[in-house]
């Protein structure tokens, strides 16, 4: 398990807000040296905590207006093959294996409701999918985030080994 401190959390927060921010800009904002920022980013990448830097898209601006969650019940023994089949469908954005009645929670996006219905029918035709329950997302009042969690878990961790917190 990787141990992170408040400096790591703040750095991740800045990168989440603007993944294109330069090292010098990040160092100035955090009040630390460029080398500190570079070594922190390298460590966070090397350990796998930061897996990528990618743009956050507004799908509606691309004409993709419907997002939904498909809760899928699977026949026993079909998880691997169903996941493989779902990976081949472009409208599938992410999947989570779950406990409870459903086995997979699948986030999808389509241009319109008619396309969503076609997608649901396609998913139901996959061998091993037994039942589907669909929830359409109307809005996203809170998009995926990690910063408040990182700040909470590092609140007692300090600001690095030798650099005092700029709030002091």
As a whole number of angstroms, the distance between CA 93 and CA 95 comes to 7
pLDDT surpassing 90 at residue 158: no
Spans of all domains in the chain: 6-54, 59-137
Fold of 6-54: Arc Repressor Mutant, subunit A (1.10.10)
Fold of 59-137: Alpha-Beta Plaits (3.30.70)
Q: What is the CA radius of gyration of the chain?
A: 21
- 16-50, pLDDT tens digit by residue? 999 999 999 999 999 999 999 999 999 999 999 99
* Exposed / middle / buried, residue 95 (Cβ in 10 Å: 0-12, 13-18, 19+): middle
As a whole number of angstroms, the distance between CA 107 and CA 31 comes to 39
> Average pLDDT for residues 46-75, to the nearest whole number?
94
């Amino acid at each position: 398990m990787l141990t992170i401190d408040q400096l790591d959390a703040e750095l991740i927060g800045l990168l989440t807000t603007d993944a294109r921010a330069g090292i010098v800009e990040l160092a100035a904002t955090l009040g630390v040296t460029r080398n500190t920022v570079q070594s922190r980013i390298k460590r966070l990448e090397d350990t796998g905590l930061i897996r990528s830097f990618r743009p956050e898209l507004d799908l509606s601006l691309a004409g993709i207006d419907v997002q939904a969650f498909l809760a899928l019940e699977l026949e026993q023994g079909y998880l691997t093959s169903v996941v493989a089949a779902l990976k081949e469908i472009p409208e599938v954005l992410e999947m989570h294996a779950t406990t409870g009645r459903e086995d997979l929670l699948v986030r999808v996006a389509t241009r319109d409701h008619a396309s969503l219905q076609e997608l649901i029918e396609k998913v139901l035709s996959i061998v091993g999918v037994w039942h589907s329950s669909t929830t359409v997302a109307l809005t996203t009042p809170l998009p995926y985030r990690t910063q408040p969690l990182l700040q909470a878990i590092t609140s007692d961790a300090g600001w690095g080994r030798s650099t005092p917190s700029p709030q002091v």
